C-alpha cells in the first residue's frame, strides 16, 4: 500500500483536536509529536482539499510527503535483536536458533509490517501461546510478514489463509513461509472482498488499523463459525468502545482485552 504523510506543526493544545479531525478524515495512522502531528493516508483515499480545509480552520500550514521505502532486510541486519516471547522465538534468518525455545519463527521483513517487536504483534504472539490451534481453520487478515499465520501453523492449525493488499507484503510472507517450511499456509493479495471465496473460520485474526476494522467488522463476523474467535489489534485502548459497539452490532460478544503501552488486543466471540 502506498501512503502520503501530512506533517502539521502546531501548539500542544491543538494536537488532540487535530488528531480527532484527521482520524475522522480517514487517516490510517497518527503520530503525536512535540511540535505537531504526522498523519498517514492511503494514497488512493487521500483528499488534500479536506486536509487543507481542516488546517485552514486553525490557521495552520501543512506539508505533504511521500515516505521513502526502506530496505528492511538491511535495517534489520543493522539493528534487529532476536525476540523471545515466553517459549516462542522470533528471529531473522541470519540469527542462530536460540536454545530452550519450543516454537521458532523466522522472519525476514523486507518492507512489511509484523516483526514481533511492535506492541500489537507481540500482544498477538503472546495471546496465541495460550490458545488451542490444533485442527482449527485460521484467517489472518492483513498478514504483513506472515508472522501470525506462520505461528498458527506451527501451533497445529489445519488450514491457514493470509490476506494482504500490499504486494510487497504478499511476496515477503510467501518467502517467510519457505523459511519456516510452512507450505500449508495460503497467502493471497487482496482485501476483505476475497472472503467471499471462503467458508467460515474457527479463528479470525485482524491486526490492522481502527478505520479498516470498523469498516469490515460485519464482513469478518460473517466468516466466523458459531462460537469462533475474532482477535483484533492495531489500535489504542481508547478505541475499544467504538470497536466493541460495532462488533456487538455484527453479532459478536466481547470476551477480554489485553494491552501493552496503550496498544490493545481484544477478543470477541461469534454468538
Q: What is the pTM of this model?
A: 0.74
Query: pLDDT at position 103, please?
Result: 96
Ramachandran region, residue 207 (left: φ > 0; alpha: ψ -120 to 50; beta: rest): beta
**Under 8 Å CB-to-CB from 199, ≥6 apart: which residues?**
223
- Give per-residue pLDDT as tens, 104-144: 999 886 654 566 677 888 999 999 999 999 999 999 999 98
Cα dist. 252→12, 74, 191, 244, 256 in Å? 38, 42, 21, 9, 12
Query: pLDDT at position 167, please?
Result: 85
Query: pLDDT at position 27, please?
Result: 86
Distance CA 155, CA 207 (A): 19
Q: Where are the domains of the chain?
A: 3-65, 117-270
- Give per-residue pLDDT as tens, 152-205: 999 999 999 999 988 888 998 999 999 999 989 999 999 999 999 999 999 999
Closest CA to 114 of 162, 160, 181, 183: 162
According to DSSP, the β-strands at 137-141 and 103-106 are unpaired
The H or E element spanning position 76 is: helix 72-79
Residue range 3-65 in CATH 1.20.1530: no
Q: Cell triple for residue 124?
A: 498477538
Higher pLDDT, 3 or 241: 241
Q: Cell triple for residue 57?
A: 480552520
Reduced to 3 states, what is the DSSP secondary structure of residue 135? coil
Domain 3-65 and domain 117-270, same fold? Reply is no
Query: pLDDT at position 113, please?
Result: 58
The H or E element spanning position 228 is: strand 224-236
Closest CA to 217 of 175, 262, 239, 248: 248
- Grid cell 530452550 in the structure block, residue: 100
Distance CA 137, CA 94 (A): 31
Percent of the chain's residues with pLDDT above 90: 63
**Whether the predicted pLDDT of 46 surpasses 80:** yes
CATH architecture, range 117-270 = 3-Layer(aba) Sandwich (3.40)
Distance CA 130, CA 132 (A): 7
Query: pLDDT at position 10, please?
Result: 92
**Whether the predicted pLDDT of 69 surpasses 80:** no
Percent of the chain's residues with pLDDT above 70: 92
Distance CA 107, CA 145 (A): 7
According to DSSP, the β-strands at 88-91 and 83-85 are antiparallel
Query: pLDDT at position 74, please?
Result: 57
Distance CA 104, CA 222 (A): 33
Mean pLDDT along residues 240-265:
96
Mean pLDDT of the chain: 89
* Count of C-beta atoms within a 10 Å radius of residue 56: 11
Amino acid at each position: 500500500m502506498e501512503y502520503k504523510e501530512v506533517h502539521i506543526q502546531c501548539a500542544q493544545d491543538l494536537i488532540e483536536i487535530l488528531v480527532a479531525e484527521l482520524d475522522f478524515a480517514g487517516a490510517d495512522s497518527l503520530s503525536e509529536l512535540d511540535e505537531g502531528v504526522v498523519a498517514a493516508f492511503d494514497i488512493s483515499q487521500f483528499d488534500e482539499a479536506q486536509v487543507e480545509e481542516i488546517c485552514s480552520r486553525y490557521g495552520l500550514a501543512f506539508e505533504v510527503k511521500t515516505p521513502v521505502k526502506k530496505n528492511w532486510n538491511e535495517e534489520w541486519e543493522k539493528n534487529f535483536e532476536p525476540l523471545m516471547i515466553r517459549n516462542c522465538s522470533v528471529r531473522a534468518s541470519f540469527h542462530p536458533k536460540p536454545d530452550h525455545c519450543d516454537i521458532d519463527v523466522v522472519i525476514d521483513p523486507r518492507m512489511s509490517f509484523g516483526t514481533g517487536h511492535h506492541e500489537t504483534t507481540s500482544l498477538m504472539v503472546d495471546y496465541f501461546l495460550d490458545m488451542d490451534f490444533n485442527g482449527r481453520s485460521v484467517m489472518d487478515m492483513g498478514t504483513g510478514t506472515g508472522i501470525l499465520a506462520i505461528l498458527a501453523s506451527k501451533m497445529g492449525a489445519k488450514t491457514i489463509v493470509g490476506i494482504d493488499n500490499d504486494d510487497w507484503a504478499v511476496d515477503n510472507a510467501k518467502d517467510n513461509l519457505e523459511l519456516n517450511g510452512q507450505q500449508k499456509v495460503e497467502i493471497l493479495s487482496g482485501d476483505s472482498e476475497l472472503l467471499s471465496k471462503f467458508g467460515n473460520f474457527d479463528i479470525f485474526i485482524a491486526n490492522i488499523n481502527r478505520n479498516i476494522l470498523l469498516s469490515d467488522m460485519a464482513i469478518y463476523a460473517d466468516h466466523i463459525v458459531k462460537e469462533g474467535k475474532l482477535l483484533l489489534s492495531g489500535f489504542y485502548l481508547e478505541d475499544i468502545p467504538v470497536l466493541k459497539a460495532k462488533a456487538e452490532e455484527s453479532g459478536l460478544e466481547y470476551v477480554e482485552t489485553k494491552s501493552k503501552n496503550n496498544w490493545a488486543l481484544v477478543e470477541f466471540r461469534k454468538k
